[in-house]
Amino acid sequence: MERTKDSLSKQVAKRAKEPVKKVNDYDGNTEVMISTGSTLLDLAISGGRVHGGGLPGGILVEIFGPAGSGKTVLLCEIAGGIQRAGGAIMFHDPEARLNKQFAAMFDMDIGKIEYTTPDTIPEVFGGVRKWQPESTAINGVLADSLAALSTNLEMDNDDGDKMGMRRAKEFSEELRKTARILVQRNLLLVCSNQIRETMNTVGPKYKSPGGEAIGFYSSLRLRTSIMKKLKVKKTVAGKDVERIVGITIDIEVSKSSIWKPHRTAPVTILFDYGIDNIRENLQFIKQYSKATTYVFNGEKLDMSLAKSVKMIEEQGIEKELCEEVISLWEEIESKFDVERKKKVR
């Protein structure tokens, strides 16, 4: 489905009016959560902890995967969500790739964030420890990406770090000094990272660089992988023209200290739009119901996914669609509850 600049502007304006995401956990307590921009990913992260799921404050999140698998988009969606919830943003960009046009798709106002292009690991984590934002909401620190960070030894020495061990040591040192600060100040630290081949014949074939400390101190690790490319065909001057307009990625919760690990979620990203939450929600309902077409609240929409997405947008019922998905997801998840008596200890 095509989206004009006007429709994109309307979408951004609509997002800006959304209230803070306050949800109740299953003990009845109110907890503020930050959305990833994807209902299914929010649920995979913490749907059994709080209604609707999402990201809590006070944790370190590592998003890792191959190049072009949506890591930067996820970071920007999360940053936009933090700003909409009234939080402040510190964005570390060692790759120096973030621009205003790209950030605007996610409601990120670069003029209102603390933006840096650090060279070294201590610059990033030292900045976190010194940061004292005025907002009492969940404030976010984002780094894109950890793989681009160097060390003082590498930067100041023509021979560099010949042993190649200094990066891992600095990540370990800095995270030890920073971990408690995240909880004390309710900061959400989200970092992207690349993956490298391990050349192992047994065990994991890929791992994220920077040593073991990042994975150890992360409360949540999300691994991204590309599932398929989205192609659209148009007729121009009587000829068929095809373009790739986005990708669908699979995100696995590979580690979690906030709920259950090893849940997965499909996420569709359109290049000029961001995460297409409506598309995945409609497909989820169709997949896990008896419907043979796309439906909402039991009513048929259309056989075409693109037309069904447009119908949801035109009726302005995106939130209602999300609630239907959440209810269906909770119903499915309840089938896997452990039916055991409380363990005697």
Binned at pLDDT 50, 70 and 90, residue 161 comes out as low
* pLDDT confidence of residue 202: 77
Which CATH superfamily does the domain covering 5-275 fall into?
Answer: P-loop containing nucleotide triphosphate hydrolases (3.40.50.300)
- Whether the pLDDT of residue 8 is over 70: the answer is no
Could you tell me the CA-to-CA distances from 241 to 13, 17, 231, 236, 307 in Å, in that order? 32, 37, 10, 7, 20
Binned at pLDDT 50, 70 and 90, residue 146 comes out as very high
Measured between alpha carbons, how far is 202 from 210 in angstroms, rounded to an integer? Answer: 21
Global pTM value? 0.89
Binned at pLDDT 50, 70 and 90, residue 12 comes out as very low
- Whether the pLDDT of residue 334 is over 80: the answer is yes
Q: Where are the domains of the chain?
A: 5-275, 277-335
pLDDT in tens, 270-283: 998 999 999 999 99
CB 193 within 8 A of CB 62: yes
In percent, how much of the chain has pLDDT > 70? 89
- Whether the pLDDT of residue 13 is over 90: the answer is no
DSSP H helices, the chain, are: 5-16, 39-46, 71-84, 100-104, 121-130, 152-156, 166-184, 213-217, 277-287, 305-315, 318-334
- Whether the pLDDT of residue 166 is over 90: the answer is no
Residue 259 token pair = 């709920």
* pLDDT confidence of residue 18: 46
* pLDDT confidence of residue 5: 43
